[in-house]
Amino acid sequence: MLKALVLLFLAWVCFLFYAGIGLFTSGFLLTRLELTNHSSCQELPGKGTLVGSGRGEPGACWTVPRFSRAVIVLIDALRFDFVHPWPAGPPAPQPFLGRLSFIQHLLEAQPQHARLYRFLADPPTTTMQRLKALTTGSLPTFVDAGSNFASYAIQEDNLIAQLNNTVDRDDWDLLIAHFLGVDHCGHKHGPHHPEMAKKLNQMDQMLQTLVEQLENDTLLVVAGDHGMTETGDHGGDSKPEVMAALFLYSPLPLFPGASLKDPEVVPQVNLVPTLALLLGLPIPFGNIGEVMVDLFSGEGDTQPLATALAQASAYHLNAQQVSRFLHAYSLAAQDLPPEELQHLQNLFSSASSEYEQLLDQLKTGEVREADIQALISQLRLFLRGARTACTETWARFRPARMIGGTILLASTCLLCLITSRLTSSPDFPFHCLLLRAVVWGLAGAVLLAGGLMAAGIGLEPSLLCAGSAATSLIAFLWALKSRESSSMTVFLPGPLPILVLLFLRSAALFSDSFVVAEAWAAPFLLRSLSLFLVAQLHWEGRLLVGVSTACLSSPTASLARREGPRALGLLVGLLLCVRLSILFHRCPEETPVCQSSPWLAPLATMAGGQAKNLWYGACLGTLGVLVLAVRFWLRRCGNLNSPAPPVLFVRWGLPLMALGTAAHWALASGTDEAPPRLQALVSGAVVGLPRAVLALAAIGLGLLLWQPVTVLVKTGASSSNHIIVPFVGPPASQADLDYVVPQIYRRMQEALRGKLARGGGQTPLALAAYGLGSVYSAAVVTALALLAFPLLLLHTERISLAFLILFLQSFLLLQLLATAVGTPAGSPGPFSVPWLAISAWALTATQTFYSTGHQPVFPAIHWNAAFVGFTEGHGSSPVLPALLVGANTFASHLLFSVGCPLLLLWPFVCEGQGSTKRKKTLASGTEVGGEKEEEPLMEMRLRDSPHHFNAALLQLGLKYLFILGVQVLACVLAASILRRHLMVWKVFAPKFIFEAVGFVVSSLGLLLGVALVMWVDRAVGSWFKQLILSQER
Amino acid sequence: MGERLQGSTMKDADIKRLFYVHIFCIVSIILTTFIPSFFLEDFSVLETHLTWLCICSMCVAIINVVLYLQVKPNPSSKRSSIFHKISRLLKSCVYFFISCLLFHAIIVLYGAPLIELMLETFLFAVILSTFTTLPCLCLLGPNIKAWLRVFTRNGATSIWDNSLQITTMSSVIGAWLGAFPIPLDWERPWQVWPISCTLGATFGYMAGLLISPVWIYRNRKQLTYKSR
């Protein structure tokens, strides 16, 4: 199998996953752009003057205020039927019915002063979003793409901001009281519990007291922000959730006539423009609500004409404002459908010109009421159309897309599972199938694009990608099915324990408690997995000897004697590392008992003194240990001897990077303590040092890619022992090279061993290649070290300890897996990484995400990372800070996915270690049996059978993608099934976003890691070619 | 043929004994949940959990020792002196204590708090040891090599060894499963550390006691033991 094919195949699978995620996201994550524009008192939303010309009056803005004050009582989760009047007499069948008797009394006694409405909330019916809607008059979605993610403050124009900006009256104008009791009671007991009756009675008493204190110029608004389901939850869009109550009351008569028998339905956003105009404020810029017309009867007089005129003017102002907003929004974002916008624009301009006409007629005299009513209905049509268009775009899940995305993800997971089984069969025509899939995918995309264009719907990238992904996936699976009709039976990933683990992992994502507690759950599963591994080793009699006489005679027993205590030691070390890494946890907001680790704060926040210095010393120690560990490992494998540039870089560049990091930390943690003369220098260094480290890392990676072969070749003094080349002339084809390369390697090893065993000099040396057995892993380890330093710099100082634990832990895990899972002793292939190893690796990545102080919620993102090396900020471009913050957040995903090929390579490296030990003991005493003992080929075994090597890499990638894909799939299912859940916007949706972005980062990292190994393989190939040529001469 | 028949009837008798012994154990564990309330003021498994833990572990320990002495599944061939017996007893106690410490260490490594609730964690370790180490001690004596042998694939030499495997595994798995409800926000009294885990271990042990005779009975044809 070709290397390029492996990469292409993996990239194709990644694309399928991305398409699925994208499609789901477009249906699930309601997004909207926040505009920062504000309405102002001086500037009307459109041309024209005001009827009644109240502009000169004090406190008037766009209109004359009808009330100077308002009291808003917001009762959380006040469902409509809690307020609905209940006839006196028989006791109510439900505890929540007929409890607010005071409201009922007001409605009956003063029908012109009070009115009850059904208050229709828009989904998502979560308190935060509803409060935002009740102040901005817009439709907040989960992701309101605005200037600042982390802030809970409302950035958009809103009523309260208008109140603060516009008006300066003496006393108070607006009193807002937010009562959470009903909501709490609903969550805890549900609406059918007697507690609810108690709570509603309390509310009733509160209202009674309040109304007694009201003055004449005050408007009372009692509103629920959303309702609740029969179980007391909210968040979704079912009728009991969206149907809240709104009650208006004023000591003065408000309404011209008596109220209707059945209360009117008023959308929630309508309250904002109504209140704004009643209080004489400008309507907030982003409002899409419509004024409640009943409240705009002409002041004092009962003439129908004046009333209609006042209503028309309020409507017109409202329409002007909405039209201005739509115009501004369509300039900034393209998500509103353009045809709809055009239609609305036409409606508005015709209504507006009619209004102008009307005003002209008013000057001359005769105006008929019917004309005004017609105008009002036209304006109303425009306003409702605008609101509908916005609702369609912002506040509605698209179940078809969600289901489509989920199906796409699930079938891609299935594809990973099936193909990971098939990679080992040598004659499987991956290239044909891939080509067919890609062609079909392109065809599908083109067809879909044509169809969309023909239907007049704009080209949406997520739809296009999903369409092409689906067609290519179907084409691939179809071809597969027709080929392997028999083997399409049950495909389960690996043994039972892995299935249990996968099930637990996925099931945990469906419970908000477990998502919150994932920081503990992932290490728990990891520990269980490693314990299980060792227990299974013992069960099979491979751990300790002397246990069973039957096992003693088997060849594994000798292995067990050596490996047993080692495996136990590795296990204990691993468990310790996992336990220690918990020390760096940050707490999610939901657990009040838990306390975040104090070590997550930067050193700069610590008061100076001994502790700070000690901590700084510990961080320095960590850096030193990291550098030394990498060097030690490379030296031990023999990859630190050659004069290749990457080796030189590891020798000198890594310490330099560590030094730069240390200096940056020292300056950053003590900037304030620097003497004033050095202030400029220090601030320059704080900017310069991180950039220098980043540049060094980039240089190192560049060198690594340029010459990845870190092998030292030594030519002996005399070379009688020539390499036997079975053909004359340079190698003609790849096949020749494949044949000759192992031979050269064996020769070299032989020569090397001869030198080691007999003290050198006695046997004629031909060639000695140090570190050839671990070229691949050396390159990956070097790349990881180079990646780790910039990532380390993006975190706060003390997290470097967590990084040290990370490296140690993954090293121990690799060793344990290599010992436990078994070295591929002598087998020429096919190689395969067991599911257990890959699950453990993925779990470690998840655990590390938490142990580096992260949580999958937006407020927990380390925003400070954006300012490392950029203390002054970034200007307007959001790309660079997003990259920095993303690198900080997904550091563990990146490191572990780039390091994923190590899972394949490590057993081969360990094979070498085992034999070096043996050799040393042998070399001291006895003579080495010359040809009898086979030298460990280590990673060259992989090169021996290039087909199996590539297949193994493909399989590894597919398995890793499968495990990650199943997690994303579980998140997707959880978010879509539980979209009514109370915690969906607080827990499940953020978890989905983090998991999806983490998947993207991981898959890219995986592609990079696999590509790196292949690149090294290519370089090794050409290195061998050169070697042969030089030998020929 | 006749020998084989005799062997199988012996095995059946053994299974019967095993079954009765296990039923007795289960009944005694159930009794520990309400018998003490006659003697102790406001005793309940959940509220005075530590007391119950002590009582349960003592009870299980005594019953195990007595039953195994009575039933004597592995009659020792050579008669030993009193001194030898005492040394074995002392050794067993030391082993039991070490196993408690080991379990404690593993539980802490598993994420239990290190300093707070130390007593609770230790008692959890004690009850786990009672369910796992103590039967080993009773059955195999203080002989770690024999223990290690029993817990390998072909290591069981009698149905007692098989039942030991099953009860040990099921208690550990029960304790492991018991950790799952801890993060849930149900706010039940049994979610407090380590109640769910100890209860899980107890249920697991009882399940193991029930399962093992049944399993052995169903697989009695496949189970052949090499004599050593």
Q: Residue A40 class from Cβ within 10 Å (0-12 exposed, 13-18 middle, 19+ buried)?
A: middle
What is the rounded CA–CA span in Å between residue A767 and residue A636? 20
CB contact under 8 A, B155 and A524: no
Interface list for B 139-168 with A (CB within 8 A): 145, 148-149, 151-155
Interface A-B, measured as beta-carbon pairs within 8 A, has a size of 55
Q: Residue B187 class from Cβ within 10 Å (0-12 exposed, 13-18 middle, 19+ buried)?
A: exposed
Token couple for A489? 């039976």
pLDDT of residue A550: 40
pLDDT of residue A547: 41
Token couple for A605? 């926040």
Nearest-Cα residue of chain A relative to residue B106: A575
pLDDT of residue B4: 52
Name all contacts of A289-294 with Cβ < 8 Å and 24+ positions apart.
A289/A137, A289/A387, A290/A315, A290/A318, A290/A380, A290/A383, A290/A384, A290/A387, A291/A315, A291/A318, A292/A266, A293/A376, A294/A115, A294/A254, A294/A255, A294/A256
pLDDT of residue A147: 42
Q: pLDDT tens digits for A296-333?
A: 875 555 567 778 888 888 888 899 999 999 888 888 87
As a whole number, the mean pLDDT across chain A is 80
Global confidence as pTM: 0.81
Tell me how far the alpha carbon of residue A536 is from its chain's centroid: 36
Asked which of A614-618, A679-683, A766-770, B155-159 is least confident by mean pLDDT, the reply is A766-770
CB contact under 8 A, A511 and B152: no
pLDDT confidence band for A589 (50 / 70 / 90): low
What is the rounded CA–CA span in Å between residue A779 and residue A784? 9
Phi, psi of A47 (to 5 degrees): -80, 165
CA angle at A862 for the pair A857 and A866, rounded to the nearest 5°: 130
User: A768 - beta bridge partners?
Assistant: A714
Contact status of B177 with chain A (Cβ, < 8 Å): no
User: Residue B22: what residue type?
Assistant: H
Q: Residue A606 class from Cβ within 10 Å (0-12 exposed, 13-18 middle, 19+ buried)?
A: middle
pLDDT of residue A586: 86
**Strands A174-179, A143-145: parallel, antiparallel or unpaired by DSSP?**
unpaired
Contact status of B108 with chain A (Cβ, < 8 Å): yes
Share above pLDDT 70 across residues of chain A, in percent, rounded to a whole number: 81
pLDDT mean over A984-999: 89
pLDDT of residue A870: 81
Q: Tell me which of A773 and A997 has the higher pLDDT.
A: A997
Share above pLDDT 90 across residues of chain A, in percent, rounded to a whole number: 27
Q: pLDDT tens digits for A360-377?
A: 888 777 777 788 888 889
Asked which of A896-900, A906-910, B8-12, B131-135 is least confident by mean pLDDT, the reply is B8-12
Distance from CA of A592 to the nearest CA of B (A): 12
Using the predicted structure, report yes or no on whether residue A46 has a pLDDT greater than 80. Answer: no
State whether residue A899 is helix, strand or coil: coil
pLDDT of residue A983: 76
Most confident of A85-99, A214-228, B123-137: B123-137
Mutate to test the interface with A, among B110, B165, B169, B227 (most CBs of A within 10 A): B110
Q: pLDDT tens digits for A27-45?
A: 888 777 778 888 887 777 7
State whether residue A893 is helix, strand or coil: helix
Nearest Cα to Cα of residue A292 among A311, A313, A274: A274
Share above pLDDT 90 across residues of chain B, in percent, rounded to a whole number: 41
What is the rounded CA–CA span in Å between residue B73 and residue B57? 22
CB contact under 8 A, A521 and B183: yes
pLDDT confidence band for B106 (50 / 70 / 90): very high
What is the rounded CA–CA span in Å between residue A923 and residue A919? 6
pLDDT of residue A307: 81
CA dihedral for A550, A552, A554, A557, sign (positive or negative): positive
State whether residue A33 is helix, strand or coil: strand
**Which conformational region is residue A146 in: left (phi greater than 0), alpha (psi within -120 to 50 degrees), or beta?**
beta
Cis peptide before A731 (omega within 30 of 0): no
What is the rounded CA–CA span in Å between residue A94 and residue A197? 9
What is the rounded CA–CA span in Å between residue A196 and residue A96? 6
CB contact under 8 A, B109 and A578: yes
Which of A511, A520, A575 faces B109 most closely, judged by CB atoms?
A575
Using the predicted structure, report yes or no on whether residue A714 has a pLDDT greater than 70. Answer: no
Q: pLDDT tens digits for A750-802?
A: 555 544 443 333 333 345 566 777 888 889 999 999 999 999 999 988 899 99
pLDDT mean over A102-123: 86
On chain B, the residues whose CB falls within 8 A of the CB of A575 are 106, 109-110
CA dihedral for A600, A602, A605, A608, sign (positive or negative): positive
Q: pLDDT tens digits for B17-58?
A: 889 889 999 999 999 888 888 888 888 888 888 999 999 999
CB contact under 8 A, B154 and A548: yes
C-alpha R_g of chain B? 19
On chain B, the residues whose CB falls within 8 A of the CB of A573 are none
Residues in chain A whose Cβ is within 8 Å of chain B:
511-514, 516-517, 520-521, 523-524, 527-528, 538-541, 544, 546-548, 550-551, 575-576, 578-579, 582
Q: pLDDT tens digits for A330-358?
A: 888 777 888 888 999 999 999 988 888 88
What is the rounded CA–CA span in Å between residue A101 and residue A201? 8
pLDDT mean over B109-134: 91
On chain A, the residues whose CB falls within 8 A of the CB of B109 are 527, 575-576, 578-579
Residue recorded with tokens 């109550």: A245
Nearest-Cα residue of chain A relative to residue B151: A539
CB contact under 8 A, A547 and B179: no
Nearest-Cα residue of chain B relative to residue A539: B152
Contact status of B193 with chain A (Cβ, < 8 Å): no
On chain A, the residues whose CB falls within 8 A of the CB of B179 are 524
Number of neighbours of residue A947 by Cβ within 10 angstroms: 14
pLDDT mean over B84-112: 91
pLDDT of residue A394: 77
Token couple for A749? 């090893």
pLDDT of residue A562: 59
pLDDT confidence band for A282 (50 / 70 / 90): confident
pLDDT confidence band for A588 (50 / 70 / 90): confident
Nearest-Cα residue of chain A relative to residue B226: A550
**Are the C-beta atoms of B85 and B79 separated by less than 8 Å?**
no
Q: pLDDT tens digits for A507-543?
A: 999 998 899 889 989 999 999 999 998 888 888 877 7
Q: Tell me which of A359 and A300 has the higher pLDDT.
A: A359
What is the rounded CA–CA span in Å between residue A752 and residue A766? 9
CB contact under 8 A, B183 and A528: no
What is the rounded CA–CA span in Å between residue B153 and residue A689? 59
Nearest-Cα residue of chain B relative to residue A546: B145
Q: pLDDT tens digits for A398-449?
A: 889 999 999 999 999 988 988 888 877 767 777 888 888 899 999 999 999 9
Residues for chain A: how many in total? Answer: 1033
Cis peptide before A91 (omega within 30 of 0): no
pLDDT of residue A802: 92
**Which conformational region is residue B188 in: left (phi greater than 0), alpha (psi within -120 to 50 degrees), or beta?**
beta
Distance from CA of A614 to the nearest CA of B (A): 24
What is the rounded CA–CA span in Å between residue B37 and residue A400? 59
Residues for chain B: how many in total? Answer: 228
User: Residue A793: what residue type?
Assistant: L
Using the predicted structure, report yes or no on whether residue A822 has a pLDDT greater than 90. Answer: no
pLDDT of residue B207: 95
Using the predicted structure, report yes or no on whether residue A91 has a pLDDT greater than 80. Answer: no
Using the predicted structure, report yes or no on whether residue A166 has a pLDDT greater than 70. Answer: no
Using the predicted structure, report yes or no on whether residue A1006 has a pLDDT greater than 70. Answer: yes
Q: How far is CA A909 from CA A912, A934, A970, in A?
A: 5, 16, 36
Q: How far is CA B177 from CA A518, A522, A528, B204, in A?
A: 16, 15, 11, 9
Residue recorded with tokens 């179907």: A474
Using the predicted structure, report yes or no on whether residue A963 has a pLDDT greater than 90. Answer: yes
Nearest Cα to Cα of residue A636 among A625, A628, A626: A628
pLDDT mean over A813-822: 83
pLDDT of residue B79: 60
Q: Tell me which of A369 and A9 has the higher pLDDT.
A: A9
pLDDT of residue B129: 94
Distance from CA of B43 to the nearest CA of A (A): 28
Report the complex ipTM: 0.93
State whether residue A100 is helix, strand or coil: coil
Phi, psi of A526 (to 5 degrees): -65, -45
CB contact under 8 A, B152 and A539: yes
Contact status of B82 with chain A (Cβ, < 8 Å): no
Mutate to test the interface with A, among B114, B152, B166, B187 (most CBs of A within 10 A): B152
On chain A, the residues whose CB falls within 8 A of the CB of B183 are 513-514, 516-517, 520-521
Number of neighbours of residue A539 by Cβ within 10 angstroms: 16
Q: Tell me which of A605 and A569 has the higher pLDDT.
A: A569
What is the rounded CA–CA span in Å between residue A326 and residue A336? 9
User: Residue A485: what residue type?
Assistant: S
Asked which of A39-48, A55-64, A648-657 is least confident by mean pLDDT, the reply is A55-64
What is the rounded CA–CA span in Å between residue B58 and residue A41? 81
Contact status of B111 with chain A (Cβ, < 8 Å): yes
pLDDT confidence band for A549 (50 / 70 / 90): very low
Q: How far is CA A1031 from CA A177, A494, A940, in A?
A: 89, 47, 20
Asked which of A49-58, A355-364, A595-604 is least confident by mean pLDDT, the reply is A49-58
As a whole number, the mean pLDDT across chain B is 86
Q: Tell me which of B105 and A161 has the higher pLDDT.
A: B105
Interface list for B 26-65 with A (CB within 8 A): none
Listing DSSP states for B120-134 in one string gives HHHHHHHHHHHHHHH
What is the rounded CA–CA span in Å between residue A413 and residue A329? 39
pLDDT of residue B228: 45
On chain A, the residues whose CB falls within 8 A of the CB of B152 are 538-541, 547-548, 551
pLDDT mean over A682-686: 84
Nearest-Cα residue of chain A relative to residue B152: A539
